[in-house]
Amino acid sequence: MAKTRGTYITVGVTGASGAVYAQSVLRFLDADPRVERVFLVVTDAGQRLIATELDIVAADGKKLAPLLTGTPAKKIEYLPNKDIGASIASGSAPVDAMVIIPCSAGALASIATGIASDLLSRSADVCLKERRRLVLCLRETPLNRIHLENMLRVHDAGATIMPAMPAFYYAPKSIDDIVTQFAYRVLAQLGLPQEKQYRWRGSKLSP
Ligand SMILES: Cc1cc2nc3c(=O)[nH]c(=O)nc-3n(C[C@H](O)[C@H](O)[C@H](O)COP(=O)(O)O)c2cc1C
């Protein structure tokens, strides 16, 4: 059946390095006319990372999205991670895709084992059971065997592992370039391709 509404996306932010990626993705989602609603879930460690890396602290969670995006962020609904009864905890909620960016090894482990004890991991679990797109922007290095096994487990359950691992073949000029191009790749994975995404057109050098 044809969809009669815009896209609904859940964005999860955990305590892995790279809060700036979440900030960038949220800004693009907020500005994208194809997107109708964004649900934002941030773990306690995610809040700490946002404070550490972006110097943003929101006494009231509802203020977090406007602080992160620098806009009124009217499309973005902040949902407390403890609120296991929030709409997105159910498969009946109209969510099209979810991204966890950045995704900690801990959050990956919760999803891989189906623990679903907080809203972030429950929403991810729901995406998998409903066969919806789930993108995990894991940020950890080096990787131990547990990380690797957990990645394979969630991959086999339907998730896309998209490590927060920027490319350099497009000759980025700034950190902003690097973050933006990575955000574009993430948005493409969510079904929201961006016109300004760099696209490789073949090598200028002969082999
Ligand atoms: C400053 C800082 C940076 C961190 N960076 C990472 C990281 O890049 N990857 C990771 O898996 N964990 C990282 N951690 C550890 C996680 O925050 C920690 O395992 C936490 O329990 C994850 O909880 P969450 O998944 O509920 O957000 C970092 C912690 C801090 C305080």
- Does residue 204 register a pLDDT over 80? no
* Cα–ligand 1 centroid distance for 190 (angstroms): 24
**Region label for 68, one of left (φ > 0), alpha (ψ between -120 and 50) or beta (otherwise):** alpha
> What pLDDT digit, counting tens, does each position of 57-81 carry?
998 989 999 999 999 999 999 999 9
How far apart CA 31 and CA 82 sit, in angstroms, is 28
Ligand 1 atom closest to the Cα of residue 46 is 27
As a whole number of Å, the CA-based R_g of the chain is 17
Beta bridge partners of 160: 135
- Does residue 186 register a pLDDT over 80? yes
Place 1 in a pLDDT band, splitting at 50, 70 and 90. low
Q: Which two tokens stand for residue 150?
A: 């957990």
In a mutational test of the pocket of ligand 1, which residue from 17, 104, 139 has the highest number of ligand atoms less than 8 Å from its CB?
A: 104
Alpha-carbon torsion, ordered 142, 147, 189, 16, to 10 deg? -60
List pocket residues of ligand 1, CB cut-off 6 Å.
Answer: 14-17, 43, 45-46, 48-49, 52, 104-107, 139-140
In a mutational test of the pocket of ligand 1, which residue from 13, 17, 113, 141 has the highest number of ligand atoms less than 8 Å from its CB?
A: 17
Sequence letter at residue 147? H
* Cα–ligand 1 centroid distance for 80 (angstroms): 18
- Does residue 2 register a pLDDT over 90? no
> What pLDDT digit, counting tens, does each position of 17-56 carry?
999 999 999 999 999 999 999 999 999 999 999 999 999 9
pTM: 0.96
Q: Identify the CA nearest to 29 among candidates 53, 51, 11.
A: 11
* Cα–ligand 1 centroid distance for 202 (angstroms): 38
Spelled out in words, what is the top-level CATH class assigned to the domain 7-189? alpha beta
* Cα–ligand 1 centroid distance for 104 (angstroms): 6
Query: Which residue is it, tokens 């969670």?
Result: 61
* Cα–ligand 1 centroid distance for 137 (angstroms): 13
Ligand 1 atom closest to the Cα of residue 13 is 27
